[in-house]
Amino acid sequence: MGIDPNFRTARQVVEEHEGHKVYGPVEAPKTLGIHGTIVGVDFDICNADGSCITACPVNVFQWFDTPGHPVSEKKADPINEQACIFCMACVNVCPVAAIDVKPP
């Protein structure tokens, strides 16, 4: 199914993590929400494939451990989303469509 492209308006910001917003709901470890606003990553469907980390030319992502999550125990966290150049490489390579990129 992929990330909801309307998450920025359809979901509420419930916390901040590593300098970016987290859109809920969040009920760790099973439900982790969507991390980031410019580069949103749905932590609940991210399967830690790593292709976005490899594809990104400006190092937007970093691994974040999520022990106990049913899909994968690490996620590609958009900790450097401000560096995004909107090339869409991460969106194009994500096998589960967990990433949505939108300029501010």
Place of tokens 């974040």: 64
Question: At residue 95, what is the residue type?
Answer: P
100 is in an annotated binding site: no
87 is in an annotated binding site: yes
90 is in an annotated binding site: yes
77 is in an annotated binding site: yes
DSSP 8-state assignment for residue 2: -
20 is in an annotated binding site: yes
4 is in an annotated binding site: no
- Inter-residue contact 44 to 33 (CB < 8 Å): yes
Query: What are the binding residues?
Result: 17, 20, 35, 46, 52, 56, 77, 84, 87, 90, 94
Please report, in range form, the residues annotated as the binding site for Zn(2+).
17, 20, 35, 77
